[in-house]
């Protein structure tokens, strides 16, 4: 019996219970989920998460460049959602088709990329899952042609408005006073604009007509009543443009003695010009330049973003047209709007001379934080396909626009005053420095450039950096090649390299840049020690490193067309002291520098 029992004992120990199988199954499920999550995160690296749409166009799984290209192909003219104006139970569809729009597709792409990237792991998983299952719609910010909407509301107002009527006696019948109605076109327009920004493309917006009561006049005598009945009200003057489909009604107060009034018609030119100057801001739409892509293997140029003509109001010609119309007794005058051609026309790529690499510049950012790398990617992407026409001025700030969280940038370390601090946009100067290097090495005229406040290790040798601070501190250079210049940013986040390639027609020039000459070295002051209550007693943490102040001179020699010219680039860097955070009770070295206190 003992032998039998002994032989069965090991077999009994290896038996699997239902609980063991359940635990094994749960473990396998967890491993499968983790594997799927890891693959999901890896697949969406530098891609918009699955389920995100912009204006109804799916962009999930695309890089930001691919998403922008797809939006430009599918939404070349971003339509407005339908709008209904409501008033006392009545509804009127507002004619929005004539109102041209300019959608901020690049900003929408950057906001789409941030969906599911809040920085909180649990929130990100929940957002990504819901987005994949139900979709998340990102609505672009719209620049809307207000003039067409105002004209449509003005026509609607003319059908709703009525004057106040005084109490009156007609025969034996006494008619009480009746208040009038005045439509506030501007307030209603603001309501329409707000609704259009909040409403997705496939929804309908309802906006109430904003009105105000008009008090009836005092009781009139029979003679006055008859005179009022026979008086013809002054008519509004309609300005019309058939080329762009614009209409705008102006009040008779813009002229002395409007049509239908008892006074002779005279144009109050100063008042009319002031009105048209305000209208010009609403009518004018800047032309949109094309963004292009150059293939160095084939030499071909493709369109990333189509160009679009703009328009502007010719105030002088419109004033003359109104004067002529009134003299002829007409209540309608031409609104003289001129077409503005884009400086970079997608239909003229063959004439641009974009055929080879002109110059390339690179800098390195390996070791940067995740937020700094993200800001470098966001900023660089804004320059993808930008084209500078001959003698055109490149402005970094005009292209990158606002460095803010709303524009896709994250918090990272920036230079703020005399300290390194956390702020929005840390890393953007890596991008400005890189394109400065390319322009400087290419011999382009540097129009505006500022060095950093102190020597920054990211940029290698001092004297060849370029800082920006929107909108006041900019980097600018001029394209003097005689051909168009196409910008291509390339960010290698794995190896920490950013490169700007400039394509066009390479001029016959040789550029030589000297080694930086360092002078006027200034030693930094003693370190600052700041007590941080969040640190443990006796703990010390360095957050800023000392740098010598100095003046750095770089000379650039350009040989072109048999002539030689030299320019000098001077950078003055201030000394930078080290900064330490210390826990309470930490021994601080003897120093005349005052000790500050920080709270977490």
Q: Mean pLDDT over residues 71-82, rounded?
A: 75
| pLDDT above 60 for 522 | yes
- Confidence at residue 2, expressed as pLDDT on a 0 to 100 scale: 47
| pLDDT above 90 for 599 | no
CATH hierarchy code of domain 510-600 = 2.20.230
| pLDDT above 50 for 179 | yes
Q: Mean pLDDT over residues 14-35, rounded?
A: 75
- The pLDDT-based confidence of 415 (bands split at 50, 70, 90) is very low
Q: Mean pLDDT over residues 201-222, rounded?
A: 75
- Confidence at residue 291, expressed as pLDDT on a 0 to 100 scale: 93
d(CA 143, CA 102) in angstroms, rounded, equals 5
| pLDDT above 70 for 420 | no
- Confidence at residue 232, expressed as pLDDT on a 0 to 100 scale: 38
Q: Mean pLDDT across the chain, nearest whole number?
A: 80
d(CA 388, CA 392) in angstroms, rounded, equals 6
Instruction: Express each pLDDT in 370-409 by its tens digit.
Output: 888 888 888 898 999 999 999 999 999 999 887 666 556 6
- The pLDDT-based confidence of 368 (bands split at 50, 70, 90) is confident
- Confidence at residue 24, expressed as pLDDT on a 0 to 100 scale: 77
| pLDDT above 80 for 365 | yes
d(CA 560, CA 579) in angstroms, rounded, equals 48
d(CA 322, CA 316) in angstroms, rounded, equals 10
| pLDDT above 50 for 421 | no
d(CA 455, CA 420) in angstroms, rounded, equals 12
Q: Residues of 147-185 as b/e, b for ≥16 C-beta within 10 angstroms? A: bbbbbbbbebbeebeeeebbebeeeeeeeeeeebbbbeb
Looking at the chain, the whole-number percentage of residues with pLDDT higher than 70 is: 81
Q: Give, in degrees to the nearest 5, the angle at Cα 312 between 309 and 317.
A: 135
Q: What is the largest CA-CA distance in the chain?
A: 134
- The pLDDT-based confidence of 434 (bands split at 50, 70, 90) is very high
> For the ranges 16-25, 239-248, 287-296, which has the lowest average pLDDT?
16-25
| pLDDT above 80 for 218 | no
- Confidence at residue 374, expressed as pLDDT on a 0 to 100 scale: 85
Q: Mean pLDDT over residues 358-378, rounded?
A: 88
- Confidence at residue 173, expressed as pLDDT on a 0 to 100 scale: 65
Q: Residue 322 has which token pair?
A: 């109104």
Q: Mean pLDDT over residues 342-356, rounded?
A: 95
- The pLDDT-based confidence of 518 (bands split at 50, 70, 90) is very high
CA of residue 560 relative to chain centroid, distance = 39
Scan for tokens 């998403």, then name that residue.
67
- Confidence at residue 413, expressed as pLDDT on a 0 to 100 scale: 39
Phi and psi torsions of 156, nearest 5°: -65, -40
Instruction: Express each pLDDT in 110-157 by its tens digit.
Output: 888 888 887 777 788 888 888 888 888 888 877 776 777 877 787 787
- Confidence at residue 446, expressed as pLDDT on a 0 to 100 scale: 96
Cβ neighbourhood burial of 33 (10 Å; 0-12, 13-18, 19+): exposed
Q: Mean pLDDT over residues 314-324, rounded?
A: 89
- The pLDDT-based confidence of 7 (bands split at 50, 70, 90) is very low
Q: What is the CA radius of gyration of the chain?
A: 34
Residue boundaries of the structural domains of the chain: 352-507, 510-600
- The pLDDT-based confidence of 285 (bands split at 50, 70, 90) is confident
């Amino acid at each position: 019996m003992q032998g039998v029992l002994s032989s069965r004992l090991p077999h009994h120990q290896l038996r699997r219970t239902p609980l063991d199988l359940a635990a094994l199954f749960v473990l396998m499920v967890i491993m499968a989920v983790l594997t799927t999550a890891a693959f999901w995160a890896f697949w969406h690296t530098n891609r918009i998460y699955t389920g995100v749409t912009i204006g109804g166009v799916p962009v999930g799984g695309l890089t930001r460049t691919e998403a922008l290209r797809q939006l430009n192909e599918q939404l070349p003219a971003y339509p407005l959602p339908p709008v209904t104006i409501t008033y006392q139970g009545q509804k009127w569809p507002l004619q929005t088709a004539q109102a041209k729009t300019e959608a901020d597709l690049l900003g929408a792409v950057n906001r789409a990329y941030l969906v599911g990237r809040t920085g909180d792991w649990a929130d990100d998983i929940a957002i990504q899952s819901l987005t994949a299952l139900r979709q998340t719609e990102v609505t672009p910010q719209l620049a809307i042609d207000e003039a067409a909407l105002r004209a449509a509301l003005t026509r609607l107002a003319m059908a709703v408005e009525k004057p106040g009527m005084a109490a009156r006696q007609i025969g034996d019948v006494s008619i009480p006073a009746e208040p009038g109605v005045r439509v506030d076109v501007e307030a209603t327009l603001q309501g329409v604009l707000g609704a259009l920004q909040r409403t997705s493309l496939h929804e309908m917006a309802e906006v109430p007509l904003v009105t105000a009561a008009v008090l009836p006049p005092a009781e009139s005598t029979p003679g006055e009543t008859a005179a009022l009945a026979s008086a013809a009200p002054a008519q509004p003057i309609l300005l019309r443009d058939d080329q762009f489909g614009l209409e705008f009604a102006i009040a008779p107060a813009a002229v002395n003695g409007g049509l239908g009034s008892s006074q002779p018609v005279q144009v109050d030119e100063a008042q009319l010009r002031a009105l048209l100057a305000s209208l010009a801001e609403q009518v004018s739409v800047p032309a949109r330049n094309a963004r292009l892509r150059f293939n160095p293997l084939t030499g071909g140029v493709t369109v990333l973003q189509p160009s679009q003509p703009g328009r502007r109001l010719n105030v002088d010609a419109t004033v003359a047209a109104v004067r002529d119309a009134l003299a002829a007794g007409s209540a309608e005058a031409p609104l003289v709007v001129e077409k503005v051609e884009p400086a970079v026309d997608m239909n003229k790529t063959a004439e641009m001379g974009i055929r080879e690499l002109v110059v390339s510049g690179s800098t390195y950012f390996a070791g940067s934080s995740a937020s700094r790398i993200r800001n470098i990617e966001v900023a660089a992407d804004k320059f993808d396909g930008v084209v500078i026409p001959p003698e055109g001025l490149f402005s970094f700030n005009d292209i990158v626009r606002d460095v803010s969280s709303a524009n896709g940038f994250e918090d990272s370390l920036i230079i703020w005053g005399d300290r390194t601090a956390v702020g929005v946009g840390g890393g953007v100067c890596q991008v400005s420095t890189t394109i400065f290097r390319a322009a400087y090495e290419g011999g382009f005229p540097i129009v505006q450039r500022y060095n950093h406040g102190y020597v920054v290790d990211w940029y290698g040798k001092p004297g060849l950096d370029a800082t920006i601070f929107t909108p006041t501190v900019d980097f600018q250079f001029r394209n003097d090649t005689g051909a168009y210049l196409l910008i291509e940013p390339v960010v290698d986040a794995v190896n920490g390299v950013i490169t700007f390639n400039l394509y066009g027609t390479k001029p016959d020039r040789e550029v030589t840049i000297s080694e930086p000459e360092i002078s006027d070295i200034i030693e930094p002051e003693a370190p600052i020690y700041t007590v941080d209550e969040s640190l443990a007693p006796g703990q010390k943490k360095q957050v800023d490193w000392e740098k010598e102040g100095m003046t750095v001179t770089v000379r650039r020699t350009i040989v072109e067309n048999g002539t030689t010219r030299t320019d000098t680039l001077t950078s003055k860097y201030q000394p930078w002291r080290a900064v330490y955070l210390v826990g309470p009770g930490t021994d601080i070295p003897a120093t005349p520098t005052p000790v500050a206190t920080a709270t977490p």
